[in-house]
Chain A
C-alpha cells in the first residue's frame, strides 16, 4: 500500500522537521524554486490531473492557472475548516504530517508568486493550530518560509487563522470574508477567488483543501506521469477515505482511487460493526446523496465519475456507514438539523427552507407526521435547490430527496403507524 499522504503510518515521527527532511521533505519546494519556473510548476500539477479534495474535485493545476499573470498581490489560502460531518482527514494530516501541508502550500504560493499563505483552521482545532504555528516556525528557521526563501529573493510568510465554529466558513468565499474580519457569509460570484476582486482582500487567491496541497510535494518530486500511474486516468492518485458510523474499524484509509466500495469497507475498514448488514452509505458526509448498499454500488469503483454515475458524489470522501437497523428518517432528520443549524441565513430559501424541513422531521419523529408533511418534504426542496447563493442550499435537500427515493417505506411507516418511531434516546 502506498501512502503519499498518511506517511505517519510508516514514519510516526514524520511531524518532526528533521524526520520530514530526512525522508525527502521540502525536496519538492527546493526543486521548484531552483529548477522550475512558476509556470512550469503549474504545468506539472495540471498534467498530474490532481483534483481538489475539498469537495468539488476541480483540477488543481487549472485553478492555479486562472490567477492573472499580471496580478501584483496574490494569496494562497489553505482550507483547514474541515467541518463536513464524517470528515476527519485534514486533522490527521495537520497533526501527523504538517510539514507536507506547509510544503504543498508553499509550492502553490511559488506557482502563483503569492505574497502570503493563510491557513484557515476551524476554531475547534485550537491545539492543533497552535502546534502548526510551531511547525511553520521551524520551516521559517530553515529559510523555507518567510523572507528571501532559499536565497532566491522570494518572500512569502505563512500564517494561521483560527475560525470559531461555523460550517459555512468552509465554503471558500465565506472563508475569505471570515478571514477578512467580515461576517462569515458567502460572497456573490463572479468574481471568483482566483479573479481580481474575488479573493482575499479582493486580490486573486488560490483556495485549496489541506489534502489537495499535501499531494503536491510528491507530484513535483516524482512528476505528473508517476502520479497518473496511481488511481485511474480521470481520478488519479490516492485519496483519504474517512470511514465512520457503523464500521468495525473507523478511521482514515488512504487508498488509490479506483478500488471498489467493497474493498474499502470490507477489506480495509473491517466490515460492518457487530457483523451486521450494511444498509446505506453516505459517501461524502451529509452533503451528498445517500446510496443504498446494493451489490451494484458495492462493486463500483471509487472515482469521481463513478460515484457521480451512481447518483451521489465522492466529495471529500467522508464515508458514513449505516447498518440494517438504522432508521433512515431519523438519519435524514439529523442531517437536516445540521443544515438548519449551519445555514448562514443570507438567502431566504435556504434559511426558511431548512427551518421548515427541520420542523417537519421533528414532527415525524414525534409520531405526529401526516401525509401532508410527506408532500411538503417533496415540495420544499424544489424551492431551495438551485436558487441559493452557495452550495449549502443544494446540499441541504440531498438528505430529503435521497432518503425519500431509497427508503420511502420508512416514511410511510412513520405516518401510518404512529407508534412506530425511534427510541426516545434517538429523538433529536
Chain B
C-alpha cells in the first residue's frame, strides 16, 4: 500500500497545498512508479488518499498523456512528431524506430521492454528529432543513435528481468 510504504513522500506532497485534492497528480505519479501502471486498485488507493471518487481519479488519469491505465513496456518511448520536429525528419525517424523494434504505431515489443508512441511538442524542437524515454529526453537523435540506445537498454534490462523471473 502506498500509504504505508511511502508515508513520507505522501506527507510532503500534502504539505505543499492547502487542499489535499491538489496532490492527486503527484500521487498518480507515485502509484504509477510503484505499480508500473494505474491499475483499478491503484486508482482507488489514490482516490481514497485525497478523498475523491475513484471515477474522478480515473477521469483525471485519462486526461493526461503521462498517466497510463494500461501496462506499458519497461521503457516508454514517446517520439515527438509534431510540426517543428517533423520538419526535421521526425516522421521518418519514428517509422524507422517502429520498424527496428518490429512494432506498429503505439505498440509494445513482444518481450515487454519497449512501448512506442507519437506525442506532441515536448519543448525540444531545436534538438529534433527527439524522444522521451520514461522521464528523460534524448535529443539530436539519428536512427543509429536510437538503435544504440535501445541495445543499451536491452542489456541494462537483462539482469533485472532474470531476477524478476527467479523471484
A interface, CB within 8 angstroms of B: 82-88, 90-91, 122-127, 159, 161-167, 178-184, 201, 242-246, 250-252, 282, 286, 320, 322, 326, 331, 334-335, 338, 341-342, 344, 425-427
In the complex, whether B156 has a CB less than 8 A from a CB of chain A is no
- A124 and B132 in contact (CB under 8 A), knowing A87-B121, A183-B60? yes
Residues of chain B within 8 A of A183, CB atoms compared: 59-60, 63
In the complex, whether B72 has a CB less than 8 A from a CB of chain A is no
How far, in Å, is A201 (CB) from chain B's closest CB? 6
Q: What are 27 A-B residue pairs whose CB atoms fall within 8 Å in the complex?
A: A82-B123, A83-B121, A83-B123, A88-B124, A91-B123, A124-B123, A161-B16, A163-B25, A164-B25, A165-B64, A166-B63, A166-B65, A181-B23, A181-B24, A181-B60, A201-B19, A243-B126, A244-B84, A244-B87, A244-B88, A251-B126, A286-B83, A320-B87, A322-B87, A338-B83, A344-B63, A426-B91
Cα distance, A425 to B94, chains bound together (Å) = 9
In the complex, whether B6 has a CB less than 8 A from a CB of chain A is no
How far, in Å, is B140 (CB) from chain A's closest CB? 10
Q: Which residue of B is nearest A88, CB measured?
A: B123
User: Which positions 42-74 of chain B face chain A at CB distance < 8 Å?
Assistant: 50, 52, 59-60, 63-67
Contact A245 B64 (CB under 8 A): no
Contact B126 A88 (CB under 8 A): yes
Q: Which residue of B is nearest A115, CB measured?
A: B18
Residues of chain B within 8 A of A90, CB atoms compared: 123
CB 8 Å contact bits of B132-159 with A (1 = contact, 0 = none): 1001110000000000000000000000
Q: Which residue of B is nearest A250, CB measured?
A: B126
How far, in Å, is A399 (CB) from chain B's closest CB? 9
How far, in Å, is B40 (CB) from chain A's closest CB? 19
Residues of chain B within 8 A of A178, CB atoms compared: 25
Contact A164 B21 (CB under 8 A): no
Besides A123-B25, A184-B63, 6 other A-B contacts (C-beta < 8 A):
A86-B125, A165-B67, A178-B25, A242-B125, A243-B126, A344-B63
Q: Which residue of B is nearest A341, CB measured?
A: B120
Cα distance, A161 to B19, chains bound together (Å) = 13
- A164 and B83 in contact (CB under 8 A), knowing A86-B121, A124-B132? no
Residues of chain A within 8 A of B9, CB atoms compared: none
CB 8 Å contact bits of B4-22 with A (1 = contact, 0 = none): 0000000000001111011
In the complex, whether B128 has a CB less than 8 A from a CB of chain A is yes
Q: Which residue of A is nearest B32, CB measured?
A: A164
In the complex, whether B29 has a CB less than 8 A from a CB of chain A is yes
Contact A161 B25 (CB under 8 A): yes
Q: Which residue of B is nearest A286, CB measured?
A: B83
The list of the 7 closest CB pairs from A to B, nearest first, reads: A165-B65, A164-B64, A181-B21, A250-B126, A244-B125, A244-B84, A85-B121
Contact B25 A167 (CB under 8 A): no
Q: Which among B84, B87, B125 has the greatest number of chain A C-beta atoms within 10 A?
A: B84
Residues of chain B within 8 A of A282, CB atoms compared: 83
- A179 and B22 in contact (CB under 8 A), knowing A86-B83, A164-B66, A244-B84? yes
Residues of chain B within 8 A of A427, CB atoms compared: 91
CB 8 Å contact bits of B101-140 with A (1 = contact, 0 = none): 0000000000000000001111111111000100111000
**Other-chain contact of A88, B64, B125, B135, B136 (Cβ < 8 Å):** B125
Cα distance, A182 to B75, chains bound together (Å) = 29
Contact A162 B120 (CB under 8 A): no
How far, in Å, is B10 (CB) from chain A's closest CB? 14
**Other-chain contact of B120, A83, A125, A159 (Cβ < 8 Å):** A83
Contact B91 A425 (CB under 8 A): yes
Contact A123 B87 (CB under 8 A): no
Residues of chain B within 8 A of A250, CB atoms compared: 88, 125-128
Contact A425 B92 (CB under 8 A): yes
Residues of chain B within 8 A of A127, CB atoms compared: 135-137
**Other-chain contact of B65, A164, A326, A334 (Cβ < 8 Å):** A164
**Other-chain contact of B84, A123, A165, A320 (Cβ < 8 Å):** A320
Contact A180 B21 (CB under 8 A): yes
Contact B25 A162 (CB under 8 A): yes
Cα distance, A320 to B88, chains bound together (Å) = 11
**Other-chain contact of B64, A166, A243, A251 (Cβ < 8 Å):** A166
Residues of chain A within 8 A of B34, CB atoms compared: none
Cα distance, A162 to B135, chains bound together (Å) = 12
Cα distance, A341 to B123, chains bound together (Å) = 17
Residues of chain B within 8 A of A338, CB atoms compared: 82-83, 120-121
Contact B128 A123 (CB under 8 A): no
Residues of chain A within 8 A of B29, CB atoms compared: 123, 162, 164
In the complex, whether B41 has a CB less than 8 A from a CB of chain A is no
Contact A85 B19 (CB under 8 A): no
Contact A425 B95 (CB under 8 A): yes
Contact B84 A85 (CB under 8 A): yes
Residues of chain B within 8 A of A334, CB atoms compared: 82-83, 86
Q: Which residue of A is nearest B122, CB measured?
A: A124
Q: Which residue of B is nearest A339, CB measured?
A: B120
In the complex, whether B28 has a CB less than 8 A from a CB of chain A is yes
